[in-house]
Amino acid sequence: MNKKAQTAYKKIISDKTSGSGNLLIKLNEFCKKYFFDIEHPIEFIEEAQNHFSSFQNIQKYLIQLKSIAHSNRLSGKFFHEHKIKNETAYERIFTNALPFLRNKKSILTISNSRTVFETIKKLATVNSTKLTICESRPRFEGRILAKELARSKIKIDLITEAMASDYVRKCDCTLIGADIILKDGNVVNKVGSLQLALLCRHFKKPFYVVAEKSKFSRSKKITQREELPDEIWKNPPKGIAIKNFYFEKIPATLITKIFTD
């Protein structure tokens, strides 16, 4: 990889605030621009598979890319078609979710999901939805989602996860994205999502998930990777162990409905 490509790729793999959908879009654009200049493309794909092990959609993309690269049939058409496929998926998800969301005037979400972004942005053209976003500590991805949706003049309240109970009680539903949908129907998403699902069960509110079908996995398990403790507390007093995990599992029994393409 040349220096420019290395810088661009490093920016993608160091991105800890974008959801898996946005990361895949960025990775596809990177490959479209630089893949044919990579000296050892299969090694690059395998390294990327290892780095993005938590994201089912990216794994499927890389498996497909690896297969086509091995067969020497890869062309720029692959990357263009993937972009169109992604855009079509968001349209279909919204179409499937609309009958359930059309009359929801107050929706709560967490983190920074591209699928949630596309769904809410389209929903705002149908009704005057007010959105509450949990800021999603420790990386504050919710702030990024709030900033992006605010450009579409959507009414937004930004809250901490600790404030969620009262807002779930008052909202019409909770809507989250997903990083993985496991074989047993359980969903893996950003930490804080399970809390919202439990609150929805308590307050008898719908708990919806929006996700591309590429998020579906044949596995029933996830591998948790502990992240840097400094993201929560730099230089804590001696004797305090800092725990930092990004993802958690939401049982299928707590999910009202999953909307996909």
CA distance 10 to 94: 32
pLDDT tens digits for 109-168? 999 999 999 999 999 999 988 999 999 999 999 999 999 999 988 999 999 999 999 999
pLDDT of residue 54: 85
> What is the domain extent for residue 25?
3-84
pLDDT for 2: 86
Select which of 166, 179, 184, 230 is catalytic.
Answer: 179
* For residues 42-63, average pLDDT: 93
CB 128 within 8 A of CB 99: no
Please tell me the predicted confidence (pLDDT) of residue 136.
96
What distances in angstroms separate CA 127 from CA 103, 184, 204, one per listed residue? Answer: 8, 34, 23
Domain count across the chain: 2
DSSP state of 179: S
CA distance 63 to 70: 11
Q: Indicate if 126 and 253 belong to the same structural domain.
A: yes
Q: What is the pLDDT of residue 74?
A: 87
Q: What CA–CA distances, in Å, run from 48 to 31, 63, 111, 235?
A: 11, 10, 23, 31
**What letter does residue 216 receive in the DSSP assignment?**
B
Nearest to 195 by CA among 228, 215, 167, 222: 167
Catalytic residue flag (residue 179): yes
Residues 131, 14 share a domain: no
Q: 140, 17 in Cβ contact below 8 A?
A: yes
State residue 223's pLDDT score.
82
> Same domain, yes or no, for 130 and 68?
no
Both 80 and 101 in one domain: the answer is no
- As given in the structure block, the two tokens for residue 230 are 């400094």
Are residues 120 and 80 located together in one domain of the fold?
no
For residue 147, what pLDDT is reported?
96
pLDDT at 224 over 90: no
123 and 58 in one domain? no
User: What's 122's domain CATH number?
Assistant: 3.40.50.10470
Q: Is the pLDDT of residue 254 over 90?
A: yes
The arithmetic mean of pLDDT across residues 236-255, rounded, is 96
pLDDT of residue 238: 94
- Indicate the range of 24-28, 72-76, 121-125, 243-247 predicted with least confidence: 72-76
Q: Has residue 209 got a pLDDT over 90? A: yes
Q: What pLDDT is attached to residue 171?
A: 97
pLDDT band at 3 (very low <50, low <70, confident <90, very high): confident
